Amino acid sequence: MKKIAIILSGSGVFDGTEITESILTLLHVAKAGAQYQCFAPNIDQLHTINHLTGEEMQPNRNVLVESARIARGEIKEIKELNVEDFDALILPGGFGAAKNLSDFATKGPKANMNPDILSICKSFAVSKKPAGYICISPALIPIVYGADSIATIGHDPDTASAIESLGGKHVQCNAKNIVIDEVNKVVSTPAYMVATDILEVDTGISKLIKAVINLCS
Protein backbone atom coordinates (compact mmCIF):
# COMPACT_ATOMS: atom_id res chain seq x y z
CA MET A 1 0.00 0.00 0.00
CA LYS A 2 1.38 3.40 -1.00
CA LYS A 3 1.94 5.98 1.72
CA ILE A 4 1.35 9.63 0.91
CA ALA A 5 2.59 12.60 2.94
CA ILE A 6 0.28 15.62 2.79
CA ILE A 7 1.48 19.07 3.84
CA LEU A 8 -1.19 21.45 5.14
CA SER A 9 -0.80 25.19 5.71
CA GLY A 10 -3.59 26.13 8.11
CA SER A 11 -7.36 26.00 7.83
CA GLY A 12 -9.19 28.31 5.44
CA VAL A 13 -8.64 29.49 1.90
CA PHE A 14 -7.54 33.07 2.67
CA ASP A 15 -4.88 32.34 5.29
CA GLY A 16 -4.34 28.56 5.27
CA THR A 17 -5.23 25.38 3.42
CA GLU A 18 -8.25 25.43 1.10
CA ILE A 19 -10.53 23.08 3.02
CA THR A 20 -12.44 21.57 0.11
CA GLU A 21 -9.22 20.85 -1.79
CA SER A 22 -7.63 19.22 1.24
CA ILE A 23 -10.65 17.04 2.01
CA LEU A 24 -10.92 15.94 -1.62
CA THR A 25 -7.20 15.11 -1.52
CA LEU A 26 -7.62 12.93 1.57
CA LEU A 27 -10.71 11.29 0.08
CA HIS A 28 -9.14 10.43 -3.26
CA VAL A 29 -5.94 9.13 -1.66
CA ALA A 30 -8.07 6.77 0.43
CA LYS A 31 -10.26 5.78 -2.53
CA ALA A 32 -7.11 4.93 -4.48
CA GLY A 33 -6.19 2.41 -1.79
CA ALA A 34 -3.31 4.43 -0.36
CA GLN A 35 -2.62 5.71 3.16
CA TYR A 36 -1.96 9.32 4.09
CA GLN A 37 -0.38 11.22 6.95
CA CYS A 38 -0.85 14.96 7.34
CA PHE A 39 1.95 17.33 8.37
CA ALA A 40 2.25 21.07 8.96
CA PRO A 41 4.87 23.51 10.22
CA ASN A 42 4.62 24.59 13.85
CA ILE A 43 4.74 28.32 13.10
CA ASP A 44 2.48 31.35 13.30
CA GLN A 45 0.43 32.18 10.23
CA LEU A 46 1.39 35.29 8.26
CA HIS A 47 -1.96 36.63 9.48
CA THR A 48 -5.44 35.39 10.33
CA ILE A 49 -8.35 36.40 8.12
CA ASN A 50 -12.01 36.62 9.09
CA HIS A 51 -13.47 34.52 6.28
CA LEU A 52 -16.85 36.22 6.66
CA THR A 53 -15.62 39.80 6.22
CA GLY A 54 -12.21 39.32 4.59
CA GLU A 55 -10.62 41.48 7.27
CA GLU A 56 -7.52 40.64 9.28
CA MET A 57 -8.29 39.60 12.84
CA GLN A 58 -6.50 39.07 16.15
CA PRO A 59 -5.11 37.09 17.79
CA ASN A 60 -3.09 35.37 15.09
CA ARG A 61 -3.16 31.57 14.85
CA ASN A 62 -0.70 28.68 14.61
CA VAL A 63 -0.40 26.76 11.32
CA LEU A 64 -0.05 23.33 12.93
CA VAL A 65 -2.95 23.89 15.34
CA GLU A 66 -5.23 25.16 12.57
CA SER A 67 -4.24 22.34 10.20
CA ALA A 68 -5.18 19.85 12.90
CA ARG A 69 -8.81 20.92 12.41
CA ILE A 70 -8.74 19.48 8.89
CA ALA A 71 -6.81 16.36 9.87
CA ARG A 72 -9.15 15.65 12.81
CA GLY A 73 -6.13 15.87 15.10
CA GLU A 74 -4.22 13.19 13.19
CA ILE A 75 -1.31 15.42 12.19
CA LYS A 76 2.40 15.70 12.87
CA GLU A 77 4.88 18.55 12.85
CA ILE A 78 6.73 18.88 9.56
CA LYS A 79 10.06 18.15 11.25
CA GLU A 80 8.80 14.62 11.94
CA LEU A 81 8.36 13.87 8.24
CA ASN A 82 10.87 11.22 7.15
CA VAL A 83 10.90 11.05 3.36
CA GLU A 84 12.03 7.43 3.46
CA ASP A 85 8.70 6.48 5.05
CA PHE A 86 6.60 7.76 2.15
CA ASP A 87 6.11 7.08 -1.55
CA ALA A 88 4.79 10.50 -2.58
CA LEU A 89 3.97 14.03 -1.44
CA ILE A 90 0.87 16.21 -1.94
CA LEU A 91 0.44 19.94 -1.22
CA PRO A 92 -3.20 21.11 -1.37
CA GLY A 93 -3.85 24.76 -2.17
CA GLY A 94 -5.17 27.74 -0.29
CA PHE A 95 -3.25 30.96 0.28
CA GLY A 96 -1.47 29.35 3.21
CA ALA A 97 0.85 27.77 0.64
CA ALA A 98 1.77 31.27 -0.53
CA LYS A 99 1.69 32.91 2.91
CA ASN A 100 2.80 30.29 5.44
CA LEU A 101 4.75 27.65 3.51
CA SER A 102 6.39 30.42 1.48
CA ASP A 103 6.28 34.18 0.95
CA PHE A 104 5.06 33.93 -2.65
CA ALA A 105 1.98 36.02 -1.80
CA THR A 106 4.12 39.00 -0.84
CA LYS A 107 7.28 38.52 -2.92
CA GLY A 108 6.07 36.77 -6.09
CA PRO A 109 9.04 36.07 -8.40
CA LYS A 110 11.47 36.74 -5.52
CA ALA A 111 9.77 34.24 -3.23
CA ASN A 112 11.43 31.88 -0.80
CA MET A 113 9.99 28.87 1.01
CA ASN A 114 9.97 28.04 4.70
CA PRO A 115 13.31 26.19 5.16
CA ASP A 116 11.72 23.07 6.67
CA ILE A 117 9.12 22.84 3.90
CA LEU A 118 11.73 23.42 1.20
CA SER A 119 14.00 20.75 2.68
CA ILE A 120 11.20 18.17 2.69
CA CYS A 121 10.00 19.01 -0.82
CA LYS A 122 13.54 18.91 -2.19
CA SER A 123 14.15 15.56 -0.49
CA PHE A 124 11.18 14.07 -2.37
CA ALA A 125 12.53 15.59 -5.58
CA VAL A 126 16.07 14.28 -5.06
CA SER A 127 14.68 10.85 -4.16
CA LYS A 128 12.71 10.85 -7.45
CA LYS A 129 9.51 10.33 -5.50
CA PRO A 130 6.44 11.87 -7.16
CA ALA A 131 4.60 14.89 -5.84
CA GLY A 132 1.32 16.68 -6.50
CA TYR A 133 0.80 20.43 -6.14
CA ILE A 134 -2.73 21.88 -6.16
CA CYS A 135 -4.21 25.36 -6.75
CA ILE A 136 -1.61 28.05 -5.82
CA SER A 137 0.88 25.45 -4.51
CA PRO A 138 2.34 24.83 -8.02
CA ALA A 139 3.91 28.30 -7.75
CA LEU A 140 6.43 26.57 -5.47
CA ILE A 141 7.43 23.98 -8.07
CA PRO A 142 10.27 26.01 -9.68
CA ILE A 143 11.69 26.81 -6.24
CA VAL A 144 11.81 23.09 -5.45
CA TYR A 145 12.66 21.60 -8.85
CA GLY A 146 14.60 24.40 -10.48
CA ALA A 147 14.81 25.69 -14.02
CA ASP A 148 12.54 24.25 -16.70
CA SER A 149 10.26 22.47 -14.23
CA ILE A 150 6.67 22.42 -15.48
CA ALA A 151 3.65 23.66 -13.53
CA THR A 152 0.15 25.05 -13.88
CA ILE A 153 -1.95 27.41 -11.81
CA GLY A 154 -4.57 27.67 -14.55
CA HIS A 155 -4.37 30.80 -16.66
CA ASP A 156 -3.82 33.81 -14.38
CA PRO A 157 -1.18 35.84 -16.27
CA ASP A 158 0.46 37.48 -13.25
CA THR A 159 0.92 34.23 -11.31
CA ALA A 160 2.06 32.42 -14.46
CA SER A 161 4.60 35.18 -15.10
CA ALA A 162 5.90 34.88 -11.54
CA ILE A 163 6.35 31.12 -11.99
CA GLU A 164 8.34 31.72 -15.16
CA SER A 165 10.42 34.40 -13.44
CA LEU A 166 11.30 31.76 -10.84
CA GLY A 167 12.56 29.56 -13.68
CA GLY A 168 9.57 27.33 -14.27
CA LYS A 169 7.55 26.69 -17.39
CA HIS A 170 3.86 27.46 -17.01
CA VAL A 171 1.24 25.48 -18.93
CA GLN A 172 -2.36 26.72 -19.11
CA CYS A 173 -4.89 24.23 -17.78
CA ASN A 174 -8.51 24.13 -16.64
CA ALA A 175 -9.68 22.83 -13.27
CA LYS A 176 -10.74 19.45 -14.61
CA ASN A 177 -7.29 18.58 -15.88
CA ILE A 178 -3.70 18.16 -14.77
CA VAL A 179 -0.22 18.94 -16.03
CA ILE A 180 2.52 16.33 -15.57
CA ASP A 181 6.23 17.10 -15.51
CA GLU A 182 7.44 13.63 -16.47
CA VAL A 183 11.11 14.45 -15.88
CA ASN A 184 10.60 15.63 -12.30
CA LYS A 185 7.62 13.35 -11.57
CA VAL A 186 5.52 16.28 -10.36
CA VAL A 187 1.82 16.79 -11.13
CA SER A 188 -0.19 19.99 -10.79
CA THR A 189 -3.80 21.07 -11.16
CA PRO A 190 -5.29 24.57 -10.78
CA ALA A 191 -8.39 23.65 -8.72
CA TYR A 192 -9.98 26.79 -7.27
CA MET A 193 -7.51 29.08 -9.04
CA VAL A 194 -9.90 28.70 -11.98
CA ALA A 195 -12.71 26.35 -10.94
CA THR A 196 -16.30 27.55 -10.95
CA ASP A 197 -17.68 24.72 -8.83
CA ILE A 198 -16.69 21.83 -6.57
CA LEU A 199 -17.26 19.23 -9.28
CA GLU A 200 -14.47 20.68 -11.40
CA VAL A 201 -12.12 20.67 -8.41
CA ASP A 202 -13.07 17.08 -7.61
CA THR A 203 -12.31 15.95 -11.16
CA GLY A 204 -8.91 17.63 -11.26
CA ILE A 205 -7.80 16.41 -7.85
CA SER A 206 -8.98 12.87 -8.61
CA LYS A 207 -6.83 12.87 -11.76
CA LEU A 208 -3.87 14.32 -9.87
CA ILE A 209 -3.97 11.67 -7.13
CA LYS A 210 -4.21 8.87 -9.70
CA ALA A 211 -1.30 10.30 -11.67
CA VAL A 212 0.89 10.72 -8.59
CA ILE A 213 0.24 7.15 -7.46
CA ASN A 214 0.92 5.86 -10.98
CA LEU A 215 4.28 7.65 -10.90
CA CYS A 216 5.30 5.86 -7.71
CA SER A 217 8.09 3.41 -8.47
180-196 per-position pLDDT tens digit: 999 999 999 999 999 99
CATH of the domain at 112: 3.40.50.880
Q: For residue 33, give the 3-state DSSP assignment.
A: coil
Catalytic hit among 38, 121, 135, 173: 135
- Whole-number Å distance between alpha carbons of 4 and 7: 10
Q: What is the pTM of this model?
A: 0.97
What is the pLDDT averaged over residues 198-213? 98
| Tens-digit pLDDT profile for residues 1-39 | 999 999 999 999 999 999 999 999 999 999 999 999 999
Q: Which domain holds residue 36?
A: 3-215
Contact 15, 47 (CB under 8 A): yes
| Tens-digit pLDDT profile for residues 115-173 | 999 999 999 999 999 999 999 999 999 999 999 999 999 999 999 999 999 999 999 99
| Tens-digit pLDDT profile for residues 41-71 | 999 999 999 999 999 999 999 999 999 999 9
- Whole-number Å distance between alpha carbons of 77 and 27: 21
- The answer to whether residue 135 is catalytic is yes
Q: What is the reported pLDDT for 152?
A: 98
Contact 81, 6 (CB under 8 A): no
CB atoms within 10 A of CB 53: 8
Q: What is the reported pLDDT for 67?
A: 98
- How many Cα atoms are found within 13 Å in the side-chain-facing hemisphere of 105? 19
Task: Please count the structural domains in the chain.
Answer: 1
Q: What is the reported pLDDT for 217?
A: 75
CB atoms within 10 A of CB 157: 9
φ and ψ at residue 79, rounded to 5 degrees:
-70, -15
Q: Which amino acid is at 4?
A: I
Q: What is the reported pLDDT for 38?
A: 98
Q: What is the reported pLDDT for 169?
A: 97
User: Does residue 59 have a cis peptide bond before it, meaning omega lies within 30 degrees of 0?
Assistant: yes
Radius of gyration of the chain (CA): 15
